[in-house]
Structure 1
Amino acid sequence: MNKKLRLGIVGCGYLGNIIVDALLNGYLEEYELVGVTSRSLESRAKVANKVPCKDCKSIDELLELKPDYVVEAASGKVVKDIAHKVLYAGSNLVVLSIGAFADEAFYDKTNQIARETNKRIYIASGAIGGFDAMRTAALMSEITSKITSEKGPKSLRGTPVFREELMSSDKKEDVFNGFAKEAISLFPTKVNVAVATALATTGADNTAVTISSIPNMVGDNHKIEVKGEDVQVTVEIYSKTSAIAGWSVVALLKNIVSPIVF
């Protein structure tokens, strides 16, 4: 029997638990979860006891376990806090909070360290797919890229564009029109899809973004359009909950060890 790959998880909330449950239910037979860490003492203890695995008080304690892969399921800030440590410790990193890479300096430095350490950073597809087709289109010719996101007004609370009137409105309303770089600064935790699209295509300065508030909508609907002279790619995905993001990590981890790679 082949030795299992050692896995660590940073973030023991909703998405982290999806990954843990998938492992416990046999979806990730090639991996063993050796440790978890999280800002919440209660959540990480609950996950550690469920597996069981080590309840780590910090990323440093987790890295002492020598995981082959560390999965981030926390936040963009956490990605910035741990990425370089993970790579220097000899682990590969799987990232869900893609928004961290909108910071070009951080992106470039992390890319450099990954090359130096001969380790990899895997970007989980999250709420969208089609990265392969988008990257291919970008190689074939000069392209334009656009993403349209529809959200319920409740999900916009806490952002600069939220107005209480949106909650009682019965009409669709565009609350943002611009480019990914500006969208990232306004919605640091809500535009991972825009960041992923920008990284795969024309960059944050050139990826057009429209965000719309839809009355009574539950979940998110994202439509990505990439257009070139010889090819056009359209990807549209609706997700009722953020569960798809957690499952995208499971799919990625399975693909890493698969003899046939999609």
Structure 2
Amino acid sequence: MEKLVIVGCGKLAGIVADAILNGLLPDYELVGVCSRTLAKAESLADKMCQHGFPCVACDSLESLLALKPKYLVEAASPAAMRELALPALENGTSIVTLSIGALADKAFCQKVKERAKANNARVYIASGATGGFDVLRTASLMGNASARFFNEKGPNALKGTAVYDDTLQTDQRTVFSGTATEAIRMFPTKVNVTVAASLASVGPDNMQVTMQSTPGFKGDTQRVEIRNEQVHAVIDVYSATAEIAGWSVVNTLINITSPIVF
């Protein structure tokens, strides 16, 4: 059994925990959880314990890493990923992350690579609400590839960002056009999948991103397109909720220990 811990104890972490309880991740034991709000960590740990799976709620990253986990699931935020990545890798703990936006910072990404290699650990990028990383990487390896990303959201999903105003409730509008690097700076928690797709292909500085706000729209549409002289691929994913991101973590964890990897 591989020791697993989770940082961030919201709905997505709950999906991973339920997958363990339901026998979908038989190669893992969830030994600890940590969250910005300790009560959330305690609630998730109690749920595991009540079902016969010993798990502790930790009040700090240090106490979580002291459990010597083989894998850490990050389901919190890019800011949390920046804080935990280097200490976790130094601990020999591999990371499965949803907050790929943190890796748009080239200097930080390079430090992550070096720390992972030095400690025989890895960072696994979960697909979140998009997909097709295999074809993106393949097409980019062939050379002369260009890529672009389209994201459609409802106006309420943009509240609290620099682009929101009340007219978005009635007018469809392109609210952002630029690179993935620029997008993650403006929307630090909204476009992680954009950065993930860019890292799998042409890089955050070269991935062109368009974000559209549509009145009344619920959920997210993520469309990534890559093209070279021989290949034109379009991956179009609509998700009504964020649950697909949690399940993408479950899929990544299955792949890590599976004899057959998809």
- SS state of the match for residue 247, structure 2? helix
CA deviation after TM superposition for structure 1 residue 117, in Å: 0.8
CA deviation after TM superposition for structure 1 residue 180, in Å: 1.3
What is the distance in 1 between the residues matched to 2:143 and 2:101?
Answer: 26
User: In the alignment, what sits opposite 2:195?
Assistant: 195
Q: Deviations over 1:179-219 (max 9, x none)?
A: 11211111111011210121111112211111001110110
What is the distance in 1 between the residues matched to 2:155 and 2:19?
Answer: 31
Aligned residue identity for 2:36? R
**Residues 141, 230 of structure 1: 8 Å contact kept:** no
Q: Deviations over 1:76-131 (max 9, x none)?
A: 01111011111111111111111110111100011011111111111111001100
Aligned residue identity for 2:66? E
Give the 5 Å matches for 1:101-180.
101-167=103-169, 169=170, 171-180=171-180
CA deviation after TM superposition for structure 1 residue 74, in Å: 0.4
What is the distance in 2 between the residues matched to 1:23 and 1:218?
Answer: 30
**Residues 34, 64 of structure 2: 8 Å contact kept:** yes
- SS state of the match for residue 193, structure 1? helix
User: In the alignment, what sits opposite 2:52?
Assistant: none
Identity of matched residues, % = 50
> Among 8, 11, 14, which residue is 1:14 paired with?
11
What is the distance in 2 between the residues matched to 1:181 and 1:47?
Answer: 34
CA deviation after TM superposition for structure 1 residue 243, in Å: 0.6
**Residues 6, 13 of structure 2: 8 Å contact kept:** yes
Q: Deviations over 1:149-205 (max 9, x none)?
A: 1000000111111111111x1x42111111112111111110112101211111122
Provide the TM-score with structure 1 as the length reference.
0.96
User: In the alignment, what sits opposite 2:20?
Assistant: 23
What is the distance in 2 between the residues matched to 1:179 and 1:256?
Answer: 31
What is the distance in 1 between the residues matched to 2:154 and 2:233?
Answer: 26
User: In the alignment, what sits opposite 1:229?
Assistant: 229
User: In the alignment, what sits opposite 2:46?
Assistant: 49
Aligned-CA RMSD value: 0.9
User: In the alignment, what sits opposite 2:261?
Assistant: 261
Gapped regions of structure 1 (runs ≥ 5): none
What is the distance in 2 between the residues matched to 1:66 and 1:181?
Answer: 34
What is the distance in 2 between the residues matched to 1:21 and 1:151?
Answer: 28
User: In the alignment, what sits opposite 1:251?
Assistant: 251
**Residues 142, 229 of structure 1: 8 Å contact kept:** yes
Gapped regions of structure 2 (runs ≥ 5): 50-54
Aligned residue identity for 1:160? A
Give the 5 Å matches for 1:73-84.
73-84=75-86
Aligned residue identity for 1:71? V
Aligned residue identity for 2:158? L
What is the distance in 2 between the residues matched to 1:7 and 1:60?
Answer: 15
What is the distance in 2 between the residues matched to 1:193 and 1:57?
Answer: 29
User: In the alignment, what sits opposite 1:220?
Assistant: 220
Aligned residue identity for 1:16? A
- SS state of the match for residue 141, structure 1? coil
**Residues 147, 208 of structure 2: 8 Å contact kept:** yes
What is the distance in 1 between the residues matched to 2:119 and 2:198?
Answer: 26
Aligned residue identity for 2:203? G
Aligned residue identity for 1:235? I
What is the distance in 1 between the residues matched to 2:180 and 2:58?
Answer: 36
- SS state of the match for residue 36, structure 2? coil
User: In the alignment, what sits opposite 1:90?
Assistant: 92
Provide the TM-score with structure 2 as the length reference.
0.96
